[in-house]
Amino acid sequence: MDVLSQSALLVAVVSFGLGASVLYRDLRNKLFVAFAILCLSICGWALFYFLEQLLGGGFYYRLHLGFHLLLSPVGLYLMQVMIRVRDRFTRNIFLVSALGCGGLMMMLFLGLERLVVIRALMDLFPEMIALQILHLMGIDGRLKRGFRRIPPTTIR
């Protein structure tokens, strides 16, 4: 067992502890629930990577890929709840992420992850979070330059 597998187990345990403790505190707060779901998704992602490295077999690897696909919509949802920006780009990238996650999960369920194109899509799928971060950095840069149109938020 290598260091990457051991650190995946450590990530799984810590993220499960964070997610469970946040869920224990308050289920009425959307931010707490979104953070807990992200932590539990990271827990599953890391745990099934560890189990695949320890026990081998395609079953654990497919579960690892499933949680890998969940990271993008869950992470984008947490960002939407935390930042409260509701512009067109943010809605569209979340919609593409959720629909893409569903479609790629179906492909994973059907065993099509062996195809090179599908596998490349699955590997690069969480990069949508980076696109959202770049978009938010652009909004921040425009605000610093004096551009006064602020994207719509839920704060009134």
Q: Which residues lie closer than 8 Å to 135 by C-beta, 6 or more apart?
A: 89, 90, 93
Helix (H) or strand (E) holding 88: helix 88-109
Per-residue pLDDT of 88-107, as tens digits, reads 888 899 999 999 999 999 98
Sign of CA dihedral 21, 69, 94, 131: positive
Q: Which residues lie closer than 8 Å to 23 by C-beta, 6 or more apart?
A: 32, 33, 36
pTM: 0.83
User: How far apart are the C-alpha atoms of 75 and 96, rounded to whole Å?
Assistant: 13
Q: What is the pLDDT along the chain (156 residues), one digit of tens a residue?
A: 788 888 989 989 999 998 999 888 878 888 889 999 999 999 999 999 999 988 887 888 888 899 999 999 999 999 888 888 778 888 899 999 999 999 999 988 888 888 888 888 888 888 888 998 898 888 888 777 776 666 666 554
